[in-house]
Structure 1
């Protein structure tokens, strides 16, 4: 199934001569619903099924590693951390070749990037979840376990859901060309971050939190028994893997059993 999930986007991108990714150009944004890449790549779930399988495999790997007290040598842990960061950076910045004006269209190159970008990003994120959850966090695990970051773990998915809307609105309503400078990018990114998390907070307080309370009232609390207190579970925080195709969510408040700290959900 995992192989098929990789094969499907590769084949369809070539057959329909689709773009490697959804290009945020004004003509595309203005007619987004009719754009072939948006219709056949961005919307269908089967086009982004590979991250689901990688997330499930990572969850199973974490469970197995904690059960068997699996440990990697420190040099190999550092190697995997550095490699995962380089992989994530490569996925982000290699897309520039598809934004160059007048660059020749290659269906094979577009299909290869469409497959490897999602796979590479998911693998890089999966390691960053696996490592702290199994005691291989290095200094990154301490950052993820930092208490002030705990609220962001609750709001991350809401920010993912809300950030695209006003970004599309900004691009689609752009009436004149913009001189893009470093300061312009810094201001826009900071504004996007604040606005996304502001909307995510509203979603959390108005929808997720009340529904979670209702669920506990109706079905009862699952409790935090021995199932959430496995030996070796995250010296630097424990993590749950969300299979939404885009992100893996961290819950950094879960402490190591046996060190006197209570488990917080």
Structure 2
């Protein structure tokens, strides 16, 4: 809902220039960073023998997704209106374009790869941090390799076919 509200806000105000006071921008970035870090590291104690109380757990679970969306909404808003600085430069880097086209396919394919990997264990599995790092790297590599194959064989050809069959609204017909 927060993302939809931000999208609606950006649609309504379109290209209007926003002049925010530098202190508002700094407060916005600090708040977004603090909220984002609280979402990511909020459960740290639970993994280090300091479990959350039932109340803390309920509050975290009730608010973490909303808070994460608010944090990301500030990033989108600030970058869209020129208050992103080096973060906008990093997120706009051309290297991300090919990865962004593969991310959704990798997201869809990685549970299948994990299921295949897990279902091939014939013995007990003993956890170690080094094995976890190796497995994560392998699964990411396999997921993106499969995403490339999926994109080249299905997504890109159908996208080109769609461009040929469905006229673009940008082109003016005479």
* TM-score (norm. length: structure 1): 0.53
Q: Does 1:205 align with 2:152?
A: yes
Q: Does 1:140 align with 2:87?
A: yes
Distance 2:95 2:106 in 1: 17
Give the structure with the larger helix fraction: 2
Shift of 1:99: 5.1
Shift of 1:142: 0.5
Counterpart of 1:217 in structure 2 is 164
2:45–2:52 contact (8 Å) kept in structure 1: no
Structure 1 217/68 Cα, relative in aligned 2: closer, same or farther at 3 Å?
same
Shift of 1:198: 1.9
Distance 2:3 2:94 in 1: 24
Counterpart of 2:35 in structure 1 is 87
Q: Does 1:176 align with 2:125?
A: yes
Q: Does 1:123 align with 2:107?
A: no
> Following superposition of structure 1 onto structure 2, how do residues 186-201 of structure 1 map, counting pairs within 5 Å?
186-201=133-148
User: For structure 1, which segment, 188-197 or 169-178, has the greater mean C-alpha deviation from structure 2 after superposition?
Assistant: 169-178
Tell me the secondary structure at the aligned position of residue 129 of structure 2.
Answer: coil
Distance 2:110 2:85 in 1: 31
Structure 1 89/171 Cα, relative in aligned 2: closer, same or farther at 3 Å?
farther
Counterpart of 1:156 in structure 2 is 103
Output the aligned Cα RMSD: 3.1
Gapped runs of 5+ residues in structure 2? none
Shift of 1:95: 2.9
Structure 1 96/63 Cα, relative in aligned 2: closer, same or farther at 3 Å?
same
**Residue deviations 1:202-231, cap 9 Å, x none?**
232233222222222222123389xxxxxx
Structure 1 97/126 Cα, relative in aligned 2: closer, same or farther at 3 Å?
same
Q: Which has the higher contact order (CA 8 A, sep 6+)?
A: 1
2:36–2:67 contact (8 Å) kept in structure 1: yes
Tell me the secondary structure at the aligned position of residue 137 of structure 1.
Answer: coil
1:131–1:137 contact (8 Å) kept in structure 2: yes
Gapped runs of 5+ residues in structure 1? 1-52, 226-265
Structure 1 205/73 Cα, relative in aligned 2: closer, same or farther at 3 Å?
farther
